[in-house]
Amino acid sequence: MNYDTFANLLFSRVRRADVTLALVIINAIIFALLVAMSRNAMQIPSDLLIRAGGNFAPLVQKGELWRLFSALFLHGGLLHVGLNMFALYQAGQVVERLFGRLGFLVIYVGAGLLGNLASLWWKQGSVSVGASGAIFGVYGALLAYLLLQRGSVPGEVFREMRSGTLGFIGYSLFAGFSLPGIDNAAHLGGLAGGMILGLAFAEPVVSSRPVRWLSPRALGGVLVLVALGLTLWQQTPEVVRRYQADSAYQQTLQRFVLDEQELLREQAALMDSLRQRRLTEAAALEVLEHDFLPRWERLINQLSGATAPAPSEWQRHELVAYASTRRDAVKALAQAFETRQMVWVERSRALQVQADNILLQMRLRHSVEAGAR
């Protein structure tokens, strides 16, 4: 078969690669919306990607399975979406004509879902986004077609497609293993999914139908893909309970910080009122004993009863010590008002300094650990 005959057969199957073009446009529109929301085209924040539907293990395992699909249309930055859409447009036009519009769409989505399941299985602690797994599936299907239907492709076209496909796959995987932040699990999962469906669907270009959907080979390929996806899902470590516990601790921590800052502001205002004689010592004592002390006790009890993730247990322990020291400083100040003895004033000041030192040591340790990571 010569080149002209091959090209005519391809274009008789699909005159225009509408599905490929539609996917590129949809991805571009969604990325533009993310940029408008974040006001940063180079790097979309992770929290926005999670809210928009990123592949995040704790939420997927909680029942939000739709994220496996929605993550295919989200990208983390301009370079990410630009390279992906360029690769999709280049390979998609060929693969859509080889497998037909429906066949191409099944390959794209099926490989993308398998890629996201592989990403979920490999790493559960970060959000994964992008069409890379699906695009690797497109290249995998093209490679499978070249292997299975070599006789349908003219020699020069075969060599050009083979070198381009292998070059893209090889370079992308090498970059994924060499550079941080690239999800090679999704790439490999998508590549495997695309090759499975490509081998299952591939028909000679002279065939009247791009895919014989009810053939044993096509049905078998779909079943293999589903079985592989279910296996990855079942083997993925469960993190939803740990995530829920971590989230509960973070909420407790946020409440603690807000309440602690409010308490310190009110204590400073009380002392100012005393110095300016707008408040009597008796009234101040009433506030200390019946307002400030119970609130410090509640903060201590909240943190003491919280379950912190293992890396943050030291932080919880130190915050309990900090809050307890602040409470003791208030007790000493109340004792000073009752007894009018300076020794209790000095005791209260010393405890406040001790509390400040606990907080300072915590910040230093946190900075050291963050730098080590």
Q: What does 148-162 look like in DSSP terms, one character per residue?
A: H-GGGS-HHHHHHHH
55 - beta bridge partners? 128
| Predicted confidence (pLDDT) per residue in 196-253, tens digit | 999 999 999 888 789 999 999 999 999 999 999 999 999 988 775 666 666 777 788 8
User: Helices (H) and strands (E) in the chain — how many of each?
Assistant: 15, 0
pLDDT of 371:
46
- The stretch 99-108 carries a mean pLDDT of 96
Give the orientation angle of helix 216-235 with respect to helix 184-201, to 10 degrees: 160
| Predicted confidence (pLDDT) per residue in 314-351, tens digit | 888 999 999 999 999 999 999 999 998 999 999 999 99
pLDDT of 372:
41
| Residue 289 per-residue DSSP state | I
44 token code pair:
């979309």
- Residue of 369, 351, 139, 121 lying closest to 238 (CA atoms): 121
128 - beta bridge partners? 55
Q: Which is more confidently placed, 312 or 138?
A: 138
Q: Are 73 and 23 in contact (CB under 8 A)?
A: no
Q: Give me the helices (H) in 149-287, please.
A: 155-178, 184-201, 216-235, 240-275, 281-287
Q: Which is more confidently placed, 276 or 171?
A: 276
- Domain definitions of the chain by residue range: 3-238, 241-372
- SS3 category, 55: strand
- The stretch 63-73 carries a mean pLDDT of 95
Q: Are 162 and 218 in contact (CB under 8 A)?
A: no
Contacts of 284 (CB under 8 A, 6+ apart): 270, 273, 274, 337
End-to-end CA distance of the chain: 58
Point out the residues that are catalytic. Answer: 132, 187
| Predicted confidence (pLDDT) per residue in 262-275, tens digit | 999 999 999 999 88
150 backbone φψ class: left, alpha, beta (φ>0; ψ -120 to 50): alpha
C-alpha span between 280 and 152 (Å, rounded): 97
Q: 126: exposed, middle or buried (C-beta count within 10 Å: 0-12, 13-18, 19+)?
A: middle
Q: Are 41 and 78 in contact (CB under 8 A)?
A: yes
> Does pLDDT of 6 surpass 90?
no
> Does pLDDT of 185 surpass 70?
yes
Share of residues in the chain with pLDDT > 90 (%): 58
- The stretch 68-77 carries a mean pLDDT of 95
In order, the DSSP letters of 5-20 are: HHHHHHHHH-SS-HHH
C-alpha span between 59 and 53 (Å, rounded): 10
Q: Residues 252, 58, 85, CA angle at the centre, nearest 5°?
A: 125
The answer as to CATH 1.20.1540.10 being correct for domain 3-238 is yes
